[in-house]
Amino acid sequence: MTSEPRTDTRARIQEVALELFAKQGYEKTSLREISERIGVTKAALYYHFKTKEDIAASVFEDGLKAMEEMLVWARTKPRTREARAEILRRYCAVVRDGIGRSRFIQQTDQQSMPGMERFFAVMYELNALLQPENASTREAMQTGLAIHSLHFGWMKMRALSGGDLTEDEFEETLMGIVLDILP
């Protein structure tokens, strides 16, 4: 019998924690509940995370790393409309993959979360990379609205869409709308 790799256990802990945080709130979720839901002992959970705060910090850190990796790639691209559209598509994939993380961050006191300065720096850089060169104030605003529309789409509109679209169809529709906003 083979054991589950540690990275899978770690990811499962994060996933379940995010589900419980969203359902009943961060403060009301205990490590015991997380371990029971996963089916591991608290000792096994402690192997990966000592506290609930460690879980939250790791979720946030993983999201930042994914965004920063995407930005490393984006920095090498020209500021053409096609390249900016591809950057936005890749960012959409980061948001889609981290939707539980995004919901948790939205519900949390962001000022007290470690790494928020880094998060805002990443978002400012993303906004700058998505703007055309020498962007006007209007174009800068459109870029910000495109990013926020992408977030709002995944966070709110997905649930309100009635479920008649698959995830891929929803993403394609959302990206069409967001790209219409992008200058």
Q: How far apart are CA 129 and CA 132, in angstroms?
A: 8
pLDDT at 1: 41
- Write out the residue limits of the CATH 1.10.10.60 domain(s) in the chain: 1-50
* CA–CA distances in Å: residue 74 to residues 15, 31, 139: 28, 38, 19
**What is the 3-state secondary structure of 72-138?**
HHHCCCCCCHHHHHHHHHHHHHHHHHCHHHHHHHHHCCHHHCCCHHHHHHHHHHHHHHHCCCCCCHH
The CATH H-level superfamily of 1-50 is Homeodomain-like (1.10.10.60)
Using CB atoms within 10 A of its CB, is residue 151 exposed (0-12), middle (13-18) or buried (19+)? middle
CATH of domain 53-181: 1.10.357
Which DSSP category does 27 fall into?
T
pLDDT at 18: 86
pLDDT at 80: 95
pLDDT at 19: 85
- Write out the residue limits of the CATH 1.10.357 domain(s) in the chain: 53-181
For residue 88, the one-letter residue type is L
Residue that has been written with the tokens 């400012």 in this structure: 124
- Tens of pLDDT, residue by residue, the chain (183 residues): 444 444 588 889 988 988 888 788 788 889 999 999 999 888 889 899 999 889 888 888 888 899 999 999 999 999 999 999 999 999 999 988 877 777 676 666 666 666 778 888 999 999 999 999 999 999 999 999 999 999 888 877 777 766 788 889 989 999 999 999 999
Side-chain-side CA neighbours of residue 180 (13 Å): 7
Q: What is the pTM of this model?
A: 0.78
Contacts of 172 (CB under 8 A, 6+ apart): none
